[in-house]
Chains A and B, each alone.
Chain A
Amino acid sequence: GAGVSQSPSNKVTEKGKDVELRCDPISGHTALYWYRQSLGQGLEFLIYFQGNSAPDKSGLPSDRFSAERTGGSVSTLTIQRTQQEDSAVYLCASSLGPVQNYGYTFGSGTRLTVV
């Protein structure tokens, strides 16, 4: 597709349930990032995939969070046993090359609400 695609756009889930968020990056973009954004706040880094390298998971807030990227393309962010504090907009971005040269192209995000 022309841009970064995220699904679902909105997700309401009950506390304790697991959720999967999907990101389809721009074709050919080797780097993929997940951030989350709480209401009116900046973006908090979660995880970063670059090609075939081991992902940088340093931003994952707990072991309930995990992500994978299959075939160097689509990525899935999984949150197990969701808590109310997990409610946020989860943003995915991809980049064609070095971020200082290309910047990030973001998707529109998945708004997660845990009730």
Chain B
Amino acid sequence: TQLLEQSPQFLSIQEGENLTVYCNSSSVFSSLQWYRQEPGEGPVLLVTVVTGGEVKKLKRLTFQFGDARKDSSLHITAAQPGDTGLYLCAGIRSSNTGKLIFGQGTTLQVKP
């Protein structure tokens, strides 16, 4: 049973299009992080969201944490080929543990 479900699992779009990736759970998380992973490398942290309803922007990327802290979304505006990669959401159940629970990832391919 996957505690964090990401959708879609695979997305192939043209440069300039917009997209949204979803990360859903039936469990509450104290905070949630998004990572991006390129082939042959480890994931790299993009953002941490902590407060229910929180919205954070990182250039063309917008991250939102659901009001109930059970879900999150990543929206990319005007995607670029450099955005290609595996996007992973990861939740923290309790601030007392450092253990992250990862979703299965969304593979994004942006074609020029």
Contact = CB atoms under 8 A, between A and B. Distances in A.
Q: Do A and B come from one complex?
A: yes
B48 interface: yes
Contacts, number: 72
Given A43-B90, A45-B101, A45-B102, 5 more contacts: A33-B100, A42-B4, A99-B92, A103-B45, A106-B42
B105 A41 contact: yes
Contact of A91 (B30, B42, B45, B48): B42
A42 B102 contact: yes
Interface in B72-112: 88, 90, 92, 95, 97-105, 107
Given A41-B105, A42-B88, A99 B100 contact: yes
A40 interface: yes
- Bin the interface of chain A by size: 20 to 34
Interface of B: 2, 4, 6, 30-31, 33, 35, 40-45, 48, 50, 88, 90, 92, 95, 97-105, 107
Contacts of A35: 102
Contact of B50 (A41, A100, A107): A100
A100 B2 CA distance: 21
Nearest to B107: A40
Interface of A: 4, 31, 33, 35, 40-45, 48, 50, 56, 91, 93, 95, 98-101, 103-109
5 contacts: A33-B100, A41-B105, A98-B95, A100-B33, A104-B45
Given A108-B42, A109-B42, A31 B98 contact: yes
